Amino acid sequence: MVPRLALAAAFVLARLASAPAATAFEPRVGQKASFTCIGNQHEIEYTVSSVDNGIVRYQITLDGIHRNLKMPAWFLGTSLYLDHSGEKWPSGQMTAGLEAFDGLKTPKAGLVLHGMVTETVTGHGPASWNFDIKIVDERQIDDKVLGKVEVYVIEETRTGSGASSQRTSFISPAHAEVVYWKYSDSAGRFRECHITSLTGAS
């Protein structure tokens, strides 16, 4: 599965600051974010191809591999999605249980959500995943690309089907974009990514 499905060039946490409750924003069509990563992928680019009633479609390039991703805007920074397809890897869909995470539409520090989601991947039977998602805090960071920016921090644990994963993401609601993310799973995959450029954003 392509993560955003969350992300991470360099930024430094300059200081922590209290911030008002964030609101989920939609990205603009044409918005493009690039990331440099260590781990399983090295260069990732997300381009917003359409936005319709909160549903965002991305064109993704991962080290030259082209993929498509469809997801609600409020799932940014998590492993939740509607469908993905493209080169190299099988296509996938999440078909049930996503409503348990509607609380991400109005993110705020301390929000805790839990639910079971059904995922179907081409060539495999349906799999059930338990998701635990928490917004652990809101803070201001001094990012090398975006400057001083308010973010909220999402922690996600996913378990089920004999596997598990953990993800931490920093989300800028003002830019409708991930600034940083770190992902690891029980199969030994690891990825830590920092944003390196952002164009076409609000």
Predicted model pTM: 0.85
What average pLDDT score do residues 98-117 get?
Answer: 96
Domain chopping of the chain, boundaries: 11-199
- pLDDT band of residue 136 (cuts 50, 70, 90) is very high
Q: Are 153 and 168 in contact (CB under 8 A)?
A: yes
- pLDDT band of residue 161 (cuts 50, 70, 90) is confident
**Residues 83, 59: Cα–Cα separation, whole Å:** 12
- pLDDT band of residue 158 (cuts 50, 70, 90) is very high
What average pLDDT score do residues 22-49 get?
Answer: 88
What's the pLDDT at 123? 87
- Is the pLDDT at 12 greater than 60? The verdict is no
- Is the pLDDT at 7 greater than 50? The verdict is no
- pLDDT band of residue 202 (cuts 50, 70, 90) is confident
SS3 194: strand
- pLDDT band of residue 24 (cuts 50, 70, 90) is low
Strand 127-143 and strand 147-160: the pairing is antiparallel
Query: What distance, in Å, lies between the first and last C-alpha atoms of the chain?
Result: 28
- pLDDT band of residue 18 (cuts 50, 70, 90) is very low
Which CATH class for the 11-199 domain?
Answer: mainly beta
As a whole-number percent, the residues of the chain with pLDDT over 90 amount to 79
